[in-house]
Structure 1
Amino acid sequence: MRGANELENASRRDFLRKTAMTGGGLILGLYIDKSGRSAETIAKPSSVSDAGEFILNAFIRIAPNGTVTLISKQPEIGQGIKTSLPMVIAEELEVNWQDVVIIQGDLDPVYGSQSAGGSRSTPTNYDEFHRLGATARTMLIQAAAELWQVSADDLIARDSAVHHPASGRHLSYGQLATNAATLKVPLPESIRLKDPKTYKLLGTRIGGVDNPGIVTGKPLFGIDVQLPGLLYAVYEKSPAFGGKVVSANLDKVKSLPGVRDVFIIEGGNNLKGLLSGVAVVADSTWAAFSARKQLEVIWDEGSVATQSWAGFTATARDRSKQQGTDILRNDGEVELALKQSAKTVEAAYSYPFISHASIEPQNCTAWYKDGAIEIWAPTQNPEAGQKIVSETLGIQKDKITLHITRSGGGFGRRLIPDYIIEAAAIALRVVGPVKLTWSREDDLRHDQFRAGGFHFLRAGINEKGKLIAWHNHFVTFANQVVVDGAPKLELGSGANLSGDEFPGRWIENCRLEQTPLECGIPMGPWRAPRSNVFAWVFHSFIDELAHAAGRDPLEFRLEILGDKGFLPGTGEQGIPYDVNRMKHVLQHVAEQAEWGKKEFPRGKGQGIAFHFSHRGYIAQVAEVTVSKQGKLKVDRVTVSTDIGAQIVNLSGAENQVQGSVVDGLGALMFQELNIENGRIVQSNFDNYPMIRIADAPTKIGVHFLKTDNPVTGLGEPALPPLAPAVCNAIFAAIGIRVRQLPLIKTDLRWS
């Protein structure tokens, strides 16, 4: 793409300065009302004054030299949205991709929601971006029709130009831009979208727009931000969650080389906000980190210091014998059905707290001056960052400018703005800009963790081998929060079971109950919240039941799915479930993986699983080898996906599925955080290992099934089925059932 390096990190103000000087051109955008809905499409000529008024609303600019600049409003965290969403506009616009420059938009309410999480970026913007590109194309065609005095119906747009086939004439978009900008915008109902059969860009392989900058070390990420006079900060918090500073040796640390200031910030009780700590501000990151080692802080650690994973485990076991605090589903007569079953199976599954461990640790740069604050942050949720700064520090929102930088991974971690409010609070005490950088130890020990959990399961099978009863008592975790002045327990993100969860709506006799354990551990969304662990539990247990019934695991699952067709959302999630779509991907993955057609010696096996997550229907088959010494190797993973009618960027889509498989396998095999005395024991990658190349699957086969359904996202749905598919394959290979994560806690040796 032309000019990508020049503008890749430009703010809208930079963009205005660079483009206003060119004169002429077409700027097109959408006004978004306060509810986040598109209100109207607008266009204006790009004079300096008009650009100053309109550029904050613009998504598209077509300059007289033919350059097409598209603004990407969603944060880019590695999911490829900075490339794929502009591709949607470019497809409808009929623009040559080589003519496109993409810049990251800052936080601005005219864009509507700018958060990137829950695989929602594509489904919430896909249709609107089609309409936006088609509107610009329509206006360019109309401009050419008026210049040539012909009917617009006789013209076509192709390769960044409008063509008149009858005469062979054509005009480039650059030549038409100024005229197009003077036209009245057509009504939405008059806009004709392209037939998907004619797409030339969507569905092809397009490299990420930032890829050249990444591989050449360009400063794209939050941690790369540099400003004149920049100072550097670290923030020491209590090793026990939520602890408060009693005292610290501030004067000694202030006297150390390169240190500008050291001060205590009182903070509050919000585990997702500004907690008590000591800030060290210095001339360099090294000076700040070095001075921090000399800090001596006395902490009031509070009651959380009595909490431990061992204690939680014992309490969960005791609570499992009692009735759950919350009854989420209670269909039929579960106890009677269990008594009448030909065979009953009981099992307890558990999984630990884990960290996001994104490669770029949390960081944020802030500059407070004249009652306003400017922020540069690698965030998934810029609105939340602005909100917490406003509410905590009393700065009006219109005085908060937030620049969205690229993030070096997120996986849900950067939806929580704790690091943003820390940087902003430090900036209030500093003259000039200051960059807060978390160490790797900070990142592991002060994460917003994926919650651990305990599932106590019972199920009944009749004499025909059919599942007739299901009972799950889920013991989970919650934080105490204050709502309207009153304390209440708030379940951790991903720590709440829904009555909609499979197989809740499929079993005639089904009881789902939930008991929260109060804890002081901060919890946040981790890639595919809920689904990332529920899929492992449910589909591992279903596999147990299939084997107990002497049934083929695929056949057993298809029987459970049955012929229910389309199930409306009824529980907390409220999301409908298309059974036929799931059966389709399940049967497809079995066919692609040659399920049941291979003979495996002992030590090798196949496992199958599926899950509906974030609107995506995904099924996977894993093939594994387990050596007699217990060494696991995942030989092959086959993935079939149904995420709707269109793959936007085939390269990005394959990357997301393959990345989900590798990410899910790493968490399954190795990742575990132990909690002692209210604090995380692990501190760095030496005792919190990440997956290495040697442990990655030898082969990952990815299959996309196009269906006549709305397009959805792909950053999360492909992860959940991986863990149960691998664990079920382990059982098929050596007869050992994995009921505790991570895998390294289970002895897989066999003889």
Structure 2
Amino acid sequence: MTLELPVLTKGGASRRDLLKASIVGGGLVLSFSIAAKSEAAETAGASALNAYVRVAPNGIVTIMGKNPEIGQGIKTSLPMIIAEELDVAWENVRIEQADNDPKLYGRQFAGGSMATPLNWDDLRRVGAVARAMLVNAAAVAWNCPAGDCKTSAGQVVHVATGRKATYGSLAAQCAGLPVPDPKTVPLKDAKDYKIIGKAMPQYDVKKIVTGEPLFGIDVRMPGMLYATYEKAPVFGAKVAKADLDAARAVKGVRKVFTVEGGTNLTGLLPGVAVVGDSWWAARKGRNALNTQWADHPTSKQSTAGFDKRAAELAAGPPMKSLRKDGDVDAALKGAAKTVEAAYAYPFLAHTPLEPQNCTAQFRDGKMEIWAPTQNPEPGRQLVASTLGLKPEDITVHMTRCGGGFGRRLSNDYMVEAAWIAREAGVPVKLLWTREDDMHHDFYRPAGYHYFKGGVDAAGNVVAWQDHFVTFGDADAVASSAGMAPTEFPSRFVPNFRMDQSTIPLGVPTGPLRAPGSNALAFVNQGFIDELAHAAGADPLAFRMKLLGDKPTVGEAPAMYNAGRMKGVLAAVEKMSGWAGRAKLPKGTGMGVAFHFSHLGYFAEVVQAKVASSGAVKVEKVWVAADVGRQIVNPAGALNQVQGAAIEGLSHALFQKITIENGAAVQSNFADYPLLRMADSPPVEVKFVITDYPPTGLGEPALPPVIPALCNAIFAATGKRIRSLPIDTSQLKT
């Protein structure tokens, strides 16, 4: 059954404007669309070839976008893969966002830059199977072998006679034909691609720039009320007292109630819900609560306390050894030059421009949810377990997300909305404030690294020691707070030691764009630069030497392809004019860094100018990337790389979440700024094509830009940046 809900469109469409059934493999296809009426009419009478593809009599092909769209362009690029193998003209393609349905679509999530590598082969086969079905339908109609036919831009052509039939005229005839084995259908050669590899604008771009409703925050339902949910500043603290009557007395407030909640920081936490006729009424009611919170152990934690404890731990023996190769102590004693340095980085918030929100309706024992989520199925399971519902009684419609960066991998806002909707008895839209979003994040963890390293007389790194102080306990680190024993330069230094100590933490943490790597690249590439300086070596040539002569190190899944990394280093060296950096004016420097993460190899150079006041101006960024043999959508790929670099610069220059008395201090963009357009540098991007499977690139472009900037500042000033965000007062001359 295809259920389209064009309730978010202009023109006052009814909630259920179109209801039609299509059988796919003996099952039901359930899809949610916020397409306009004109689009629904355009694709009326369409026949489903499989769970992803419908073909209308007029030749318009509707392709389902299986994964959440959070701005990374996946709603466009994954259907491009299907459309290519289907052999349909892109202008005749329409795209709908699929509902959460793991039985039909498998894993549906946005995270880890995994959409392309996980779906590349499967979605090509989806398109190829649909194409084969249309060819078979034509062959039956023409009483000829299927091998006598070919396809071209939405038509099947009989090669010998030139006879043609449109996909629209053939689609209904596919219903009675056997479905080809996906493993046997031929796939196109890359040289024949007409869609893949061509720059395509994001499918929704016109709707976005003209303000048509697409996002979770835009959802409207008949009879819908609005909700806010107040939680303790200290994560997980219970409600001690709240003036519910004062909130109920506010005009427009319908319901006010306390939620007991639990202790799982990723689930439903204690709080007070206020439901009103408008969000403003609910917000005013919340302001009247005057909530007091119970004591909680986390209230004793602070950034200052973490800093102090990290220094204490660094002075003593580590709690745990992560890796030990060779004899680091002996190598340090025998080194020609040694360097010691302490690095630190702060907690970071995700700050998507669309705050967390969710619309939910509970009716007849079933829950229906409209959510801008990166991870819908775990959200469905969370709602089921918290509310005592069967997962099959919960439907999750995925709306477009106004940014995510990993924040929407957690579904706390979804379970809050579901709980409130069940209590309210009507559809409810929960909307967080910006302050809610910043105070109740799953922060990128802070961390501390205490390095010792040595180089020999020939400029080789002979010793590397890192005492990593992070958060967690003896058995496990906090979410996204760990470091793998294979993290570069592990396996590239003969005498290598990586140790770990942990600090207890009651602050929720989680993945933020390029989780782990966004911090580890800063410290490791910064310290590599320090060793290069100690060796008197060109920082880029020093890195080339460190990567060595072996093309690969280690085995899958922990293999590191040094040859690919050297390829992007060579490319960025040429792009940036690295050899001519000595001609830069005083106070201007270039820095280089590289990093491997999320299957992508990236090297970046930053050119930055430091004024006598200490102000830093990033003048240009160069990025060389190796993400395999195929860029699906060059326009989207360019946007992702440039956006990652800009976000990384924001992290380096401005952003820090400080914990005091167990709560986040920063609350809005006034004290947690983003890089503004006027200060954003040009970002030049080159994709180095290599014969490896295509990978994602929304995340791996971010980590190198931070150390590249810090290394550029050192080149310009001679002053090292060992903690973030950059303190420009220390750069004054």
Per the shorter chain, which TM-score range? over 0.9
Q: Match for residue 555 of structure 1?
A: 541
| 1:28 Cα deviation after fit | 7.9
| 1:490 Cα deviation after fit | 4.0
Could you tell me the TM-score, scaled by structure 1's length? Answer: 0.91
- Cα distance, 1:519–1:729 mapped onto 2, change above 3 Å: same
Give the Cα separation in 2 of the matches to 1:608 and 1:47. Answer: 55
Q: Match for residue 329 of structure 1?
A: 323
Q: Match for residue 250 of structure 2?
A: 256
Q: Match for residue 384 of structure 1?
A: 378
| 1:745 Cα deviation after fit | 5.6
| 1:247 Cα deviation after fit | 1.6
Match for 1:85 among 78, 93, 105? 78
Match for 2:200 among 176, 189, 206? 206
Q: Match for residue 173 of structure 1?
A: 167
- Cα distance, 1:569–1:317 mapped onto 2, change above 3 Å: farther
| Contact map agreement 1:27 1:62 (CA 8 A) in 2 | no
SS of 1:737's equivalent?
A: coil
Counterparts of 1:91-490 in structure 2, within 5 Å, are 91-110=84-103, 111-478=105-472, 490=476
1:526-563 Cα distance to aligned partner (Å, 9 max, x none): 00001001001100110011011101111111111102
Query: Do structure 1's residue 749 and structure 2's residue 732 form an aligned pair?
Result: yes
Give the Cα separation in 2 of the matches to 1:663 and 1:305. Answer: 31
Q: Match for residue 736 of structure 1?
A: 719
Give the Cα separation in 2 of the matches to 1:308 and 1:291. Answer: 31
Give the Cα separation in 2 of the matches to 1:312 and 1:613. Answer: 28
SS of 1:345's equivalent?
A: strand
Query: Do structure 1's residue 617 and structure 2's residue 638 form an aligned pair?
Result: no
| Contact map agreement 2:233 2:663 (CA 8 A) in 1 | yes
Q: Which amino acid counterpart does residue 223 of structure 1 have in structure 2?
A: I
Give the Cα separation in 2 of the matches to 1:568 and 1:386. Answer: 38
1:380-433 Cα distance to aligned partner (Å, 9 max, x none): 000111111111111110111111111000000000111111111112211111
Give the Cα separation in 1 of the matches to 2:16 and 2:120. Answer: 26
Give the Cα separation in 1 of the matches to 2:260 and 2:197. Answer: 52
Query: Do structure 1's residue 673 and structure 2's residue 651 form an aligned pair?
Result: no
| Contact map agreement 1:9 1:103 (CA 8 A) in 2 | no
Match for 2:677 among 693, 713, 727? 693
Could you tell me the TM-score, scaled by structure 2's length? Answer: 0.93
| 1:568 Cα deviation after fit | 3.0
Report % sequence identity.
Answer: 50
Q: Which amino acid counterpart does residue 329 of structure 2 have in structure 1?
A: E
Q: Match for residue 693 of structure 2?
A: 710
Q: Match for residue 575 of structure 1?
A: 558
Counterparts of 1:622-661 in structure 2, within 5 Å, are 622-661=606-645
| 1:9 Cα deviation after fit | 8.5
Give the Cα separation in 1 of the matches to 2:358 and 2:180. Answer: 42
| Contact map agreement 1:28 1:60 (CA 8 A) in 2 | no
| Contact map agreement 2:8 2:220 (CA 8 A) in 1 | no
Query: Do structure 1's residue 726 and structure 2's residue 728 form an aligned pair?
Result: no
Give the Cα separation in 1 of the matches to 2:120 and 2:239. Answer: 48
Give the Cα separation in 2 of the matches to 1:273 and 1:378. Answer: 17
Q: Match for residue 62 of structure 1?
A: 55
| Contact map agreement 1:30 1:58 (CA 8 A) in 2 | no
Give the Cα separation in 2 of the matches to 1:589 and 1:629. Answer: 30
Give the Cα separation in 2 of the matches to 1:62 and 1:427. Answer: 37
Q: Which amino acid counterpart does residue 711 of structure 1 have in structure 2?
A: P
| Contact map agreement 2:109 2:375 (CA 8 A) in 1 | yes
Structure 1 stretches of 4+ moved >3 Å: 4-10, 14-21, 26-32
1:557-610 Cα distance to aligned partner (Å, 9 max, x none): 11111022222358xxx4321111111111111111111224122211111111
Give the Cα separation in 2 of the matches to 1:139 and 1:280. Answer: 54
Q: Which amino acid counterpart does residue 89 of structure 1 have in structure 2?
A: I
- Cα distance, 1:569–1:258 mapped onto 2, change above 3 Å: farther
Higher mean alpha-carbon deviation, 314-323 vs 737-746, is at 737-746
| Contact map agreement 1:492 1:523 (CA 8 A) in 2 | yes
SS of 2:482's equivalent?
A: coil
Higher mean alpha-carbon deviation, 244-253 vs 308-317, is at 244-253
| Contact map agreement 1:319 1:475 (CA 8 A) in 2 | yes
- Cα distance, 1:372–1:499 mapped onto 2, change above 3 Å: same
SS of 1:188's equivalent?
A: coil
| Contact map agreement 2:7 2:221 (CA 8 A) in 1 | no
Q: Which amino acid counterpart does residue 583 of structure 1 have in structure 2?
A: K
Match for 1:595 among 541, 563, 578? 578
Higher mean alpha-carbon deviation, 168-177 vs 305-314, is at 168-177
Across the two proteins, how many residue pairs are aligned to each other?
712
Q: Which amino acid counterpart does residue 731 of structure 2 have in structure 1?
A: L
Counterparts of 1:531-546 in structure 2, within 5 Å, are 531-546=517-532
| Contact map agreement 1:740 1:746 (CA 8 A) in 2 | no
Query: Do structure 1's residue 664 and structure 2's residue 648 form an aligned pair?
Result: yes
Q: Match for residue 35 of structure 2?
A: none
Give the Cα separation in 2 of the matches to 1:71 and 1:30. Answer: 16
SS of 1:608's equivalent?
A: strand
1:436-459 Cα distance to aligned partner (Å, 9 max, x none): 110000001111111111111110
SS of 2:709's equivalent?
A: helix
1:644-686 Cα distance to aligned partner (Å, 9 max, x none): 1100001000000000011110111000111110111111111
Give the Cα separation in 1 of the matches to 2:574 and 2:25. Answer: 47
| Contact map agreement 1:604 1:732 (CA 8 A) in 2 | yes
| Contact map agreement 1:74 1:115 (CA 8 A) in 2 | yes
| Contact map agreement 1:29 1:58 (CA 8 A) in 2 | no
Q: Which amino acid counterpart does residue 551 of structure 1 have in structure 2?
A: A
| 1:16 Cα deviation after fit | 11
| Contact map agreement 2:8 2:218 (CA 8 A) in 1 | no
Listed as ranges, the gaps of 5+ residues in structure 2 are 30-42
| Contact map agreement 2:80 2:196 (CA 8 A) in 1 | yes
Q: Which amino acid counterpart does residue 431 of structure 2 have in structure 1?
A: T
| Contact map agreement 2:8 2:213 (CA 8 A) in 1 | no
- Cα distance, 1:649–1:677 mapped onto 2, change above 3 Å: same
SS of 1:685's equivalent?
A: coil
Q: Give the superposed CA RMSD.
A: 2.4
Give the Cα separation in 2 of the matches to 1:358 and 1:210. Answer: 18
Listed as ranges, the gaps of 5+ residues in structure 1 are 33-45, 481-487
Q: Which amino acid counterpart does residue 71 of structure 1 have in structure 2?
A: M
Give the Cα separation in 2 of the matches to 1:669 and 1:489. Answer: 34
Higher mean alpha-carbon deviation, 216-225 vs 739-748, is at 739-748
| 1:27 Cα deviation after fit | 6.2
Give the Cα separation in 2 of the matches to 1:182 and 1:275. Answer: 52
Higher mean alpha-carbon deviation, 93-102 vs 177-186, is at 177-186
